[in-house]
Structure 1
Amino acid sequence: MQSAQKDHRQDVGEALTSPVQGHLIDGELRAGADFYEVVNPATGRAFALCPSATQQDLDDAAAAARREAPAWRARSAEDRRALIADFADRMVAAAADIAPLLTQEHGKPLEQAKFELTVAAHHMKQLSAIPIGDEVLRDDEAKGRVLMRYHPLGVVGAIAPWNFPIALAMHKVAQALYTGNTLILKPSPFTPLATLAVAALARDVFPAGVINVIAGGNEFGAWMTSHPGIDKITFTGSTETGKKIMASASATLKRITLELGGNDAALVLDDADLDVVVPGLARSAFYNSGQICMATKRVYVADSLHDAFVERLAKAVEQHRLGDGMQANSTLGPLQNVVQFDKVKTYLAGAVARDGAQVKTGGQVSQDGGYFITPTIITGLDDDAPLVREEQFGPVLPVLRFTDVEDAVARINDSRFGLGASVWSRDVERALSVAERLNAGTVWVNRHGVNESEVPFGGMKDSGYGREHGQMGLRSYMELQVISLPPRA
């Protein structure tokens, strides 16, 4: 995404302005000299300007975070937890004001935008309640004691995605700050405005320099990953970008956590209860227009249930009301950006053109400027179809048949992704035995996509590196120090 010059407002008209005060750097809201356009995906047109940060802005933020790191680290976990809770409460109080901005830049329905803000605050409180104290590995009179001490890494650089701009950013904020680190947060250039609005709330809670929030284009992310003043990068986004981050961060041996793409499969066994399966998958596959890393993106259904499942799922999906998120009756918004819109259109067109493919519902693509695709279910595809093999990240779902469970497990595992999966059966123990054989970081039984702060989350294979959430995720923001003491005299 390219930055515009200072006189850009003259090019696009005076109506296009910035609704935010600027970046949060060292406790001050810094207005930008340059701006770039932010597009409303419901119209396909720019609706606001966002300040674009410079390398000097990043240097200033890194210096402030480094300066404040010792004092922040010296605070107790309880003290840091209390400030995070205060910040979370202010987010909830401001949710009704910030949500319209989130809806305009993202496209999601207004009520879902409000929910994202409030649930983000809830998870911040949960994450900062998880114990992170030191541990005693051994206490033996003959061998001595071994203590495991956990220290903050220093300065964390967090790069957030556009699909849940607030929730996924604030998860990183809570984990970094609670574990005693200071932070530089970069929102996606597609969805920066609501995050900057939230940052203005943080200014009145945390000491200057503890949290810095800076918006910029893709080049800004590259500056962060190579910056010598940043000790860890936590990133949520595409696998391709994650690999670039890993390469860039290696020069300074930064610690990294990468929560990357997924092609989550749902496996519906022949004894599954469709009264449970259909609403569960209708939500997990199409909520947020399918733009969720752990959304259901392909479904394997036992042959005996296939036709009934597809018929019922199509009816459930047809209940969605596709439209501008600012319209009160909308339940499903557009794709967030034109790049993703074009990508999903390509997957859809390729799938429809394949022999045997059948569109059971949906398949319509907006032609009037907005990035809308109706919720779509397609059957009759082979496993080698790009819609099946790759992560579409949109409201287009392939449903495939199987007759042998072992064959279905092998087909699901034949993927470069391994983020999540689900198994559906009336027999939970049977489902568990199947779940254990799926190569995915999380496998749900009779549900899909449950997000819990105390449970570690991350992927296998190309779906990520490390874990977020839970004590394991919090520890990834800390450095382990082993202290070995001699036997007691």
Structure 2
Amino acid sequence: MNTFSYIINGVHKTSNEIIEVNNPATGELIGKYYASTIEDVEEAIATAKSQQKIWGKLSQEERDQFILQIADAIGSNKSYLAEWITKEQGKPLNGPGAQFEMDACIGWTQVPASLQLSDEIVFEDNTRKDVLKRLPVGVVAAITPWNRPLMIAIWQIIPSIKMGNTVVIKPSEYTTIASLELFRIINDILPAGVLNVVTGDGKIGAHLTAHQDISKIMFTGSIATGRRIIEASTKNMARLTLECGGNDAGIVLPGTDMHQIAEGLFWGSFLNMGQTCAALKRLYVHEDDLDATVEALTTVTKNIKMGNGIEEDVFLSPLQNQMQYDKVNALLEQTKNNSNAKIIIPNPEIPTQGYFIPITLVTGVDHGDAIVDEEQFGPVLPIITYTTLEEAIRKANELEVGLGASVWGTDEHTLDSVAQQMEAGTVWINQHGAIHPFVPFGGVKQSGYGVEFGIEGLKAVTLPKIISYKK
């Protein structure tokens, strides 16, 4: 059985600490990896800082050629990497699962290479001309989560290196092997030291983000960890892009045909078993439409098989780790103490081993219940009733998060009006979670700050500099 190494300055590194990795669907031992030391973090940052002076002198077009080679290499290894995602992260191989994540990796690599962030004349008259240039920020510290380990790593790496930065990346300790294999493929193409990898738990991430030579931190994960990263950045004044989860709200307009939107609601909520930052996690429906909502979602759920994601006909999978499995179960146990709550499990057939929780709908709950107020990050959807749209909008905006949101129905004027009032970085209409590599994405309130993707995402990994010419 392989033990996977991390990479610093193009060299595969080992240590005295070895971590075992198990398949969340079966409990099977699937591999091991070496955990980095604090000394490794120091070496990785020093290497990245030194190499950035060389890499940053290349033009965007020259760096784009490396990036397009990376896209080709990812495509050539798509099936191999997808299988590792399924074995380690748990998501199904097919459907909107691991193969889908790999397609996203390719697309989010190709799109930045197609963009050009050029110098901009921001002011000119007969006395002066002022030109805005975009310079590399320096060394980027990237911290990736376990829910979409390869796709989010690409979101952090590719814009950073395109704009002349170098990267030190720490993958989640829960999904390290698939990440290391992606980084190995990327390192086979890039000059040594442009992408450096360290592994391990939170102490490695903490040392990385607080280091004096880090100029930018990119993080996707929990609000609690995001706050710790903000505190760490006071030591180095690093620029931040933080995506800290959502507990996204969705509002369905009164009288909407639930069967018409049920599949969209289902995958908006339960894609990746709800382990998606921008998943629909609170659904608000008119009190007269509750029964129809439950019926429509139940019909969809009964037709989708849950199991080991490596099986061809499986489209729903386990949660990724014991921690998240316990958290979701604890929220359900709390909910059982609410006499008004009704827990509905449309398809209770699940495997007997692994971190499996069936798709669960919860009615009879409201704000003040933990299942509503806390981000479940699992296959549980609370359905909250309202009497007026004003009430639904107020409740949707009540929590201190705002990554994504959605509104569903047929009246275009009302849909647009509700969307304008919802407090989120992105509001989707008749869809949820539909991100795109050309479209900026980021949260408001405690869901973080800064954006990724498109031209705005490129700007986020640069330093603006004005050159002012006197005429």
Could you tell me the TM-score, scaled by structure 1's length? Answer: 0.92
- Match of residue 195, structure 1, among 172, 179, 185: 179
- Please give the alpha-carbon distance, in whole angstroms, between the structure 1 residues aligned to 2:201 and 2:410: 48
Structure 2 matches for 1:311-326, cutoff 5 A?
311-326=295-310
User: Residue type matched to 2:426 in 1?
Assistant: T
Whether 2:165 is the aligned partner of 1:165: answer: no
1:412 correspondence with 2:396: yes
- Superposed displacement of residue 48, structure 1: 2.1
CA displacement 1:287-339 (0-9 Å, x = unmatched) = 10110000000100122322212211111122221111122222111010100
Aligned-partner SS, 1:270? coil
Aligned partners of 2:381 and 2:451: how far apart in 1? 27
Q: State the partner residue of 1:388.
A: 372
Maintained 8 Å contact 1:365/1:372 = no
Alignment-derived partner of residue 34 in structure 2? 51
1:357 to 330, 338, 341: 341
- Number of the residue aligned with 2:75: 92
Whether 1:78 and 2:61 are equivalent positions in the alignment is yes
Say if 2:302 and 2:347, in contact at 8 Å, map to a contact too. Answer: no
Change (3 A) 1:368 1:219: farther
- Residues 276 and 446 of structure 1 are in contact (CA less than 8 Å); yes or no, is this contact kept in structure 2? no
1:65-94 deviations in Å (ceiling 9; x for gaps):
111112211111111112111111111111
> Which amino acid letter does the alignment assign opposite residue 327 of structure 1?
E
Q: Say whether 1:240 aligns with 2:240.
A: no
Q: What runs of 5+ residues in structure 1 fail to find an aligned partner? A: 1-16
Which whole-Å deviations, capped at 9, do the CAs of 1:104-139 have from their partners, x for residues lacking one? 111111232222122211111112322311211111
Corresponding residue for residue 453 of structure 1: 437
Pair 106,377 (structure 1): closer, same or farther in 2 beyond 3 Å: same
1:299 alignment partner, one of 264, 283, 308 = 283
2:310 aligned partner, one-letter code: M
User: For 1:267, which of 246, 251, 271 is the aligned residue?
Assistant: 251
For 2:226 and 2:113, the matched residues in 1 are separated by: 26
Deviation at 1:356, TM superposition (A): 1.6
Question: Distance in 2 between the 1:181 and 1:113 partners?
Answer: 29
Bigger mean CA deviation after superposition, 157-166 or 381-390: 381-390
- Alignment of structure 1 residues 51-130 onto 2, 5 Å: 51-111=34-94, 112-130=97-115
In the aligned structure 1, how far is the partner of 2:248 from the partner of 2:431?
A: 13
| 8 A Cα contact 1:271 1:426, kept in partner | no
Q: How does 1:415-430 map to 2 (within 5 A)?
A: 415-430=399-414
Does residue 254 (structure 1) correspond to residue 238 (structure 2)? The answer is yes
Residue 374 of structure 1 pairs with residue 358 of structure 2: yes
Q: Give the Cα–Cα distance (whole angstroms) in 2 for the partners of residues 365 and 237 of structure 1.
A: 31
What secondary structure does 2:53 align onto?
helix
User: SS at 1:292's partner residue?
Assistant: coil
CA distance in 2, matches of 1:450, 1:468: 14
Secondary structure, counterpart of 2:114 in structure 1:
coil
Matched, 1:282 2:285: no
CA pair 385-31 structure 1, distance change in 2 beyond 3 A: same
Shift of 1:44: 3.8
Give, in whole Å, the separation in 2 of the partners of 1:33 and 1:442.
45
1:466 aligned partner, one-letter code: G
Aligned counterpart, 2:138: 154
Q: Which amino acid aligns with 1:133?
A: S
The code of the aligned residue for 2:449 comes to: Y
The residue identity in structure 2 corresponding to 1:332 is L
Partners of 1:38 and 1:471 lie apart in 2 by 37
Give the aligned partner of residue 131 of structure 1: 116
Q: Please say if residues 389 and 415 of structure 1, whose CA atoms lie closer than 8 Å, have aligned partners that are also in contact.
A: yes
Distance 1:44 1:384 in 2: 36
Percent of aligned pairs with the same residue? 37
Q: How many Å separate the matches in 1 of 2:411 and 2:363?
A: 26
Structure 1 residues 266-292: Cα deviation after superposition (integer angstroms, max 9, x where no partner): 100015343442111111101101100
The answer (yes or no) to whether the contact 1:18–1:51 under 8 Å persists in 2 is no
* CA–CA separation in structure 2 for the residues paired with 1:465 and 1:388: 23
Counterpart in the other structure of 1:42: 25
Give the partner amino acid of 2:161. L
Matched letter for residue 27 of structure 1: G
For 2:141, what is the secondary structure of its paired residue? Answer: strand
Partner of 1:33: 16
1:49 is paired with a residue whose SS is: strand
Deviation at 1:36, TM superposition (A): 1.1
Partners of 1:186 and 1:275 lie apart in 2 by 43
The 1:225–1:145 alpha-carbon spacing in structure 2 relative to 1, beyond 3 Å, is same
Residues 1:363 and 1:415: Cα distance change in structure 2 (over 3 Å):
farther
Could you tell which deviates more after superposition, 411-420 or 266-275?
Answer: 266-275
Give the distance between the partners of 1:45 and 1:239, measured in 2 at CA: 31
For 2:145 and 2:151, locate their aligned partners in 1 and report how far apart those are by CA, in whole Å: 10
1:13 aligns with none
Q: Against the structure 1 CA distance between its residues 185 and 78, is the aligned structure 2 distance closer, same or farther, given a 3 Å change threshold?
A: same
What corresponds to 2:196 in structure 1? 212
Shift of 1:352: 2.8
Question: CA separation in 2, counterparts of 1:362 and 1:185?
Answer: 41
Give the equivalent residue in structure 2 for 1:221. Answer: 205
SS at match of 1:145: strand
What's the CA shift for 1:194?
A: 0.8
SS in 1 for 2:77: helix
Where structure 2 has 5 or more consecutive residues not aligned to the other structure, the ranges are: none
**Greater mean alpha carbon deviation, residues 327-336 or residues 161-170:** 327-336
Name the CA distance, whole Å, in 2 between partners of 1:220 and 1:45.
27
Given the alignment, which residue of 343, 362, 385 partners 1:401? 385
Aligned Cα RMSD in Å? 1.7
Q: TM-score, normalised by structure 2?
A: 0.96
